[in-house]
Amino acid sequence: MKRFIPALTAMLVLVLSPTTASAVGRTTINGGGTGTFNADLDNDGDIDGSHFGLGVNVLGAGEARGHFGCLMAGNADILGLPLMAVEGNVTSGSATAASATFGGIATVNLGNGTIFRGVPFAVTVTPGKAGVGTLQLTVIGAFDGVPGDTSPGNGNYDLPKETVASGQIDMH
């Protein structure tokens, strides 16, 4: 019995320690590359898409930490702008075996001297290489109804789902 109590105490310390508790349900999502909407969203004759990069840890209970960036410039233009960049820190998220959704607060740069700070965003991703992985960005509370918005009238800029064209999105 004297050996049982210390062993039980040691096991409880390991099971209830913060390191063990935070590792339960943790999902890491990372990746980068280019995406394509497979459509001309702004009617300028070009198939639209973006360059993206992400590194996110979903910690469970709605908590996540990381960074997300989406750049539409150069060969990935949209809305006739020379640049549209959404870059932000991730503060919340959830994940299943098949997909992850995360969000936070971003800076949105339109490349024409207009920069919006403190803009909420949400992203849903599915893992995979080119032709398989997907991402879908929603800029919350801004740009409602502009070309490419899949849900005009809800106050958000809901971009359609993009398919990874080069690069990949990993989840583990």
User: Residue 148's domain spans which residues?
Assistant: 25-171
Structure-derived torsion over alpha carbons of residues 59, 151, 143, 68, reported in degrees to the nearest 10: 20
Q: What does the pLDDT read at residue 80?
A: 66
Mean local confidence (pLDDT), 20-34: 75
Is residue 154 one of the residues assigned to a domain? Answer: yes
Q: What does the pLDDT read at residue 76?
A: 63
Q: For residue range 144-154, what is the model confidence (pLDDT) as tens digits?
A: 998 889 999 99
Mean local confidence (pLDDT), 64-83: 80
Is residue 18 one of the residues assigned to a domain? Answer: no
Is residue 13 one of the residues assigned to a domain? Answer: no
Q: What does the pLDDT read at residue 23?
A: 41
Is residue 54 one of the residues assigned to a domain? Answer: yes
Is residue 137 one of the residues assigned to a domain? Answer: yes
Is residue 7 one of the residues assigned to a domain? Answer: no
Q: How far is CA 38 from CA 11, 21, 48, 91, 127, in A?
A: 53, 42, 7, 30, 18
Is residue 5 one of the residues assigned to a domain? Answer: no
Q: For residue range 110-155, what is the model confidence (pLDDT) as tens digits?
A: 888 899 999 999 999 999 999 999 999 999 999 999 888 999 999 9
Number of structural domains found in the chain: 1
